[in-house]
Amino acid sequence: MSKPVTIKDVQVITTQPSTQRLVIVKVITSEPGLYGLGCATFTQRFHAVVTAIEKHLKPFVLGRDVSRIEEMYRMATVHSYWRNGPVLNNAISGIDQALWDIKGKMANMPVYDLLGGKCREAAVVYVHANGDDPREVEENVRKYVEEGYQYVRIQMGGYGGKSDMKPRPEGSPPGHYYDPRAYMRNMLKMIEHVRREVGPEVELLHDIHERLQPIDAVAFAKDVEPYKLFFLEDALAPEDIQWFHHIRQQCATPMAMGELFNNPREWQPLISGRLIDFIRMHVSQMGGITPARDVALHARMYGVRTAWHGPGDTSPVGHAANLHLDLWAPNFGVQEWCRFNNLVYEIFPGLPEVRGGYMYPNDKPGLGIDIDEKLAAKYPCQDEVEQWTQTRWPDGSPARP
């Protein structure tokens, strides 16, 4: 019997070629030249993830057989006893994704073939159109449509929007203020305008980003129903998911949810209750390819489609992992795409390309992506205190970002 290939080393690579701090895990094996990459990006708390990998997971996995992905994932999730948090889930994901990358390289197969093979040749993507007023949003939608995109998420003034603010109390602290009621009024006008001007053929999406009180989210979901959104994203915060029952009872606006989820008890009832239409967890936040595969199969039984989180703080390795899941999953819906700059493509050779609104694989073994570590090192992560997550209501009260 041949000697198993084992984990020889685990390295963590951090880089910031654009605005987001990225965390990449490199698992080096006992087989010379054989390694795998995984995404462990939690951009707001990247130091904590790095420490979790280097001080806790690395000693745990050294010397283990790289072929036993399922066992590794299951044991890693309970090894700390306390579990299902964003730091540890991302740390575990980095190793989990790297092991799938390694298994594909050993089998000389892309990861989508390991999962069961393609259901489609490419994954349709959606992009983000913003603007300061409805007409500017419309113009940006039209530009994307001319480039071949069929699905466009529309926002105005960023998350929470921009509007005339109510007077603040004297001495109010600094922060990103927004008015939820003004947001509802302004976004409805914007969505109505864009739908009227671009017609019914373009699939439009919108992200509430959990910024409304539950009763207002129910009302907003009802109000946008005539405009036939492809989906309304994150209408509720994870702690308010029981309100999806009320939304379902009152309108047929398709619901997408999940980017903040890290515990199975958050997504299981929404899927089994058919309360949402798209699951869109952040794959590294939920623990990697292994749990994402399981959730996709579970969701398929209930007619729920996938729409994995794909912003700039999903690393290029994470986007590659998303694509392999997209190509395989029979219940794939749509994939979020952030349009990386050319520098990111230089640092991450093999980063999936988007053409005509579709993301295509390169058909290389494993995840099909690599990293230029010397170039990545030229763009170290910068420490900062996040500002956009310091959001407030008009009276200065802390609010959801």
Options 206, 209, 319, 324, the catalytic residue:
209
| Tokens 């913003």, located at residue | 130
209 is catalytic: yes
CA–CA dist 230, 202 (Å, integer) = 9
Q: Which of 232, 251, 244 is nearest to 269 (CA)?
A: 244
HSE, CB side, 13 Å, CA atoms: give it for residue 315: 36
Which of 159, 177, 183, 358 is catalytic? The answer is 159
Distance of alpha carbon 308 from alpha carbon 326, whole angstroms = 8
Nearest to 181 by CA among 160, 204, 154, 209: 160
d(CA 304, CA 269): 12
26-63: b (≥16 Cβ within 10 Å) or e: bbbbebeebbbbbbbbbbbbbebbbebbeeebbebbee
Please confirm, yes or no, whether 193 is among the known catalytic residues. Answer: no
SS3 of 194, please? helix
The overall longest dimension of the chain from CA atoms, in Å, is: 76
The two tokens of residue 196 are 């009227």
* CB contact at 8 A, 36 and 107: no
The residues annotated as belonging to the active site are 159, 209
